[in-house]
Amino acid sequence: MEKILNLIGGQHVLPASGRFLDNVDPSTGEVYSLIPDSDQRDVADAVTAARAAFPVWSGMAAEKRAAVLNKMADLIDRDWKVLAAAESRDNGKTLKLASTLDIPRASANIRFFASGIQHFASEAHLTGSEAVNYTIRAPWGVAGCISPWNLPLYLFTWKIAPALAAGCTVVAKPSELTPMTAYLFSHYAEEAGMPAGALNIVHGSGSSAGQAIVEHPDVAGISFTGGTVTGRKIAATAAPMFKKLSLELGGKNPNIVFADCDFEKTVQQSVRAAFTNQGEICLCGSRIFVEAALYEKFVAAFVQETSRLRVGNPADDSTDLGPLVTAAHRQKVEGYIALALEEGGTIAFGGRRPQVDGLPNGFFLEPTVITGLSHHCRTNQEEIFGPVVTIMPFQTEAEALEYANSTTYGLAATVFTENLSRAHRMAAQIRSGIIWINCWLYRDLRTPFGGMKQSGVGREGGWEALRFFTEAKNVCIKLP
Ligand code: NAP
């Protein structure tokens, strides 16, 4: 059985413990590869290697670092079919999605920051005729990059690319549930001519390898994407050490549909926002609020559109939803469906485990539509992170706004309306980091990405990411 290895100091190595964890294929429920069960010893080695590589990597001119990164992106593009198949098998996402979203976006992330660092400039100020002030933005050293399982290589590269472009060296930990594409990617470091130790990848569990990265005194900052509970723990560990922190956390995103929307497009986009990647995207629109006049018609059309989605083998072209990532995660999602019923909800569609030909043990779940709940019940307050969406009516714009803002999260929101003034009003008042008007997951990598409230701290993307991985220093020269 294939054994994944850590990348430390340019070498692929076994974990210090000699132990491995099982990596399960969610379509079959079977173990298909093994993951290093790394601990603080592996992390210590990785940090030593990253520290040693820092003067070399950060001392290279930006265009030279960019050339190495662009080569890595070329290698992703060269191997996209292998990477897409690996991502689909590891996570359960459809091959279609991995091929069109995850893998192309991984190389795009790298190219974007390789280009960005060559345009990254700092400020200079003339202080009257008496002084010149200028700002140096220097990489801060070793960056810890911890990423989740839902968009594995996509989010892994979203973190390591700006860190490396800025000149930091990296100790990264992908999710133990989806380590395969980061492992395949680890071979590109040498092939692309990256100095040994600039990128280190330590696999293993969050509580062991992840926690060790956060605790290590020589890791100057952490870029983390994952759940809010984990983010809180990381913040509690990192704050007394004054580490730089970027936390991209959970969401419970409202999708607000006004009666004046473009109906067909709204239904189609809302279904996409609810169920893409089995609903396992932090940005999924999982609470749909529909203006009362349109409510019945919307629910009927939404259910009809959902009923066309095919749950099945993620490798099949006709499949829209693959299995959920683990048996435990499916159980958690099913727990929320049961809770929704207890809270007085009605299942308008789905809610069961479908039979998938040839894959009786996969972690499949039907896309599920629930109506009849209040906006403040637990089902509508807590992140489910699966193929479950709720639909509720609202009477007025003020009510829609109140419902939208009624959770502790503030990651993304979607508004469907043809009324431009209303769109602006809603965008100004919804408390979330991203507002999509008449679209969903339409991304421009230059924009600031991140959440308000318990959806996170800081912003990534564009200059924000390059600023995060660098520290500003003011130099003031007094003129004679
Ligand atoms: P998670 O359980 O918080 O794990 C995220 C990463 O942190 C994994 O690599 C995990 O390792 C690691 N980890 C766990 N405990 C740790 C600790 N004590 N110290 C350091 N690292 C630790 O999240 P997930 O279940 O993988 O991902 C789903 C969550 O991510 C959802 O809440 C979703 O909304 C959020 N998310 C947010 C964004 C965003 O941009 N805001 C994007 C995608 C996902 P193991 O996997 O090995 O436990």
Give 1-60 pLDDT, tens digit per residue. Answer: 899 999 999 999 999 999 999 999 999 999 999 999 999 999 999 999 999 999 999 999
Report CA(301)–ligand 1 centroid distance (Å): 34
pLDDT grade, residue 445 (50/70/90)? very high
CA dist., res. 281 & res. 210, Å (int): 21
Report CA(328)–ligand 1 centroid distance (Å): 15
pTM: 0.97
The two structure tokens encoding residue 330: 């499916």
CB distance 248 to ligand 1 below 6 Å: yes
Report CA(279)–ligand 1 centroid distance (Å): 16
> Can you tell me which atom of ligand 1 is nearest the CA of 250?
34
CB distance 201 to ligand 1 below 6 Å: no
pLDDT digits (tens, 9 = 90+) for 218-229: 999 999 999 999
pLDDT grade, residue 478 (50/70/90)? very high
CA dist., res. 235 & res. 243, Å (int): 9
Using alpha carbons, select from 246, 139, 162 the residue that is nearest to residue 472.
139
Mean pLDDT of 267-277: 98
pLDDT at position 416, please? 98
> Can you tell me which atom of ligand 1 is nearest the CA of 233?
18
pLDDT at position 227, please? 97
pLDDT at position 392, please? 98
pLDDT at position 308, please? 98
Tokens 């714009």 belong to which residue?
397
CB distance 24 to ligand 1 below 6 Å: no
pLDDT digits (tens, 9 = 90+) for 141-181: 999 999 999 999 999 999 999 999 999 999 999 999 999 99
CB distance 226 to ligand 1 below 6 Å: yes
- Phi, psi (deg, nearest 5) at residue 422: -65, -40
CB distance 79 to ligand 1 below 6 Å: no
pLDDT at position 89, please? 98
Among protein residues, the one whose CA lies closest to atom 48 of ligand 1: 206
Mean pLDDT of 373-394: 98
CB distance 383 to ligand 1 below 6 Å: yes
Residue 30 one-letter amino acid = E
pLDDT at position 55, please? 98
Mean pLDDT of 374-400: 98
CB distance 211 to ligand 1 below 6 Å: yes
Counting ligand 1 atoms within 8 A of each CB, the residue from 230, 382, 453 with the most, and so the one to mutate, is 230
CB distance 280 to ligand 1 below 6 Å: no
CB distance 277 to ligand 1 below 6 Å: no
Cβ–Cβ < 8 Å for 191, 219 = no
CB-based contacts of 386, cutoff 8 Å, min separation 6: 278, 279, 280, 324, 329, 330, 332, 333, 336, 365
Using alpha carbons, select from 277, 232, 243, 244 the residue that is nearest to residue 408.
232
Using alpha carbons, select from 218, 109, 202, 103 the residue that is nearest to residue 164.
109
Report CA(315)–ligand 1 centroid distance (Å): 25
CB-based contacts of 264, cutoff 8 Å, min separation 6: none
Among protein residues, the one whose CA lies closest to atom 30 of ligand 1: 226
Cβ–Cβ < 8 Å for 69, 114 = yes
CB distance 210 to ligand 1 below 6 Å: yes
Report CA(198)–ligand 1 centroid distance (Å): 23
Report CA(206)–ligand 1 centroid distance (Å): 8
List active site positions: 248, 282
Mean pLDDT of 408-419: 98
Report CA(33)–ligand 1 centroid distance (Å): 21
CA dist., res. 104 & res. 92, Å (int): 18
pLDDT grade, residue 282 (50/70/90)? very high
For the chain, the farthest-separated pair of C-alpha atoms sits apart, in whole angstroms, at 82
Among protein residues, the one whose CA lies closest to atom 12 of ligand 1: 206
Residue 130, burial from CB neighbour count under 10 angstroms (0-12, 13-18, 19+): exposed
Counting ligand 1 atoms within 8 A of each CB, the residue from 156, 159, 175 with the most, and so the one to mutate, is 175
Report CA(285)–ligand 1 centroid distance (Å): 19
CB distance 393 to ligand 1 below 6 Å: no
Task: Give 257's strand partners.
Answer: 290, 416
pLDDT at position 161, please? 98
pLDDT at position 58, please? 98
